[in-house]
Structure 1
């Protein structure tokens, strides 16, 4: 039996650009409140005074384990996340700022009343996964799911991201120094490698410095 098999040359030759990278720090921190977005943002800005002014900079909120040994991650904003040694603090940064950020190694940040000591950093390129999601994309308080989804579609189109599937999910409320922020989760699928990288570089909506609109791979969907 003879078989002719040709892979998509464009996909095969794609090289992930390193204009934006994730920098993941080992960390020791006993616990954080579920709603730590503002506190973590303030601590990072204190340690890295340039962070707030860098447009492409963002951070990943810390989520801990979703479940394990019968334990489920709490959802109430005042509850605590108890963190393991495997937990990372991850910043998403333009390449030009990465080395400056790595100076955080060995420093202890004070986040919502808890000490967070940062260890060795690891640089990670952005993912080419075909399905990405953000746990928290900022939503207008007056928006229902349909209006949020439609606005998200328009924002994705505006930054040139092509996709075939999009879903919104859980709503959360955060307290910040700028007032209450409502977010919804957003799942985007059937992305090309280029569009996956673009979505991670650009994000959706405001608040990247507090971890909003930052996309990561959705692990339950097979990678292209």
Structure 2
């Protein structure tokens, strides 16, 4: 076997300009379609969050499977949460002190009480493959057009990549109507570019839970 790495990235250090702040939380359950009510509650608790350009909200996903249980996929289903589930905000590091105001608060998320505990900062992932579960699809459901728009958005960030793959669509409800999203994987990034994509995200409404990227373990 012959294997040649394109570059030596073993000494790369992830910058801390943007960080994921993971809060302990206590909440029995949420609807699978919880993006809008959760974001609304966060915006009410942290009034600056909606105006912070680098702020992002990770939707609460839960485990994919375990002991025969599979995560619900339908928007109307209920997502039951474990004690290990975390509420995660993506923030510029200068906002971390402001975000501590969330600790101790109890949010009403679509009639479900979510109590927020202590937080732990986490560096962004050091990886060459990233995945976003929910990128806003502004093409009315045309997958080829969605991919083209995603590639254009990635090029606008001056990113270099080798693969872009889209996944299944998912529609979220909002007071103004449905928002259609698709999952998106971007592979073949340099570590610098992967961090830049995590810092910036892709598409609109990142402070509502869309367009944030996390490490994907395999292609």
- Of 185, 188, 191, the residue aligned with 2:189 is 191
The 5-angstrom pairing of residues 48-197 of structure 1 reads 48-197=46-195
Q: Secondary structure at the match of 1:12?
A: coil
Count of residue pairs the alignment pairs up:
216
CA RMSD of aligned residues (A): 1.6
Deviations 1:157-177 (A, max 9, x none): 011111101100010000112
Q: Distance in 2 between matches of 1:54 and 1:112?
A: 24
Matched, 1:27 2:25: yes
| Pair 1:180–1:7, CA change in 2 (3 A) | closer
Q: Distance in 1 between matches of 2:6 and 2:215?
A: 23
Q: Distance in 2 between matches of 1:192 and 1:180?
A: 35
Q: Secondary structure at the match of 2:23?
A: strand
Matched, 1:203 2:201: yes
Q: Where does the alignment leave 5 or more consecutive residues of structure 2 unmatched?
A: none
Q: Distance in 2 between matches of 1:114 and 1:106?
A: 16
Q: Secondary structure at the match of 2:10?
A: helix
Q: Distance in 2 between matches of 1:188 and 1:126?
A: 16
With the length of structure 2 as denominator, give the TM-score of the two structures. Answer: 0.94
Q: CA deviation at 1:130?
A: 1.0
Contact 1:57 1:92 in 2 (8 A): yes
Counterpart for residue 46 of structure 1 = 44
Q: Secondary structure at the match of 1:154?
A: helix
Q: Distance in 1 between matches of 2:49 and 2:112?
A: 21
Q: CA deviation at 1:7?
A: 9.4
Q: Distance in 2 between matches of 1:39 and 1:148?
A: 26
Q: CA deviation at 1:75?
A: 1.3
Contact 2:58 2:88 in 1 (8 A): yes
Counterpart for residue 34 of structure 2 = 36
Q: Where does the alignment leave 5 or more consecutive residues of structure 1 unmatched?
A: none
Deviations 1:10-59 (A, max 9, x none): x2343211111000001110000000000010000111010001011011
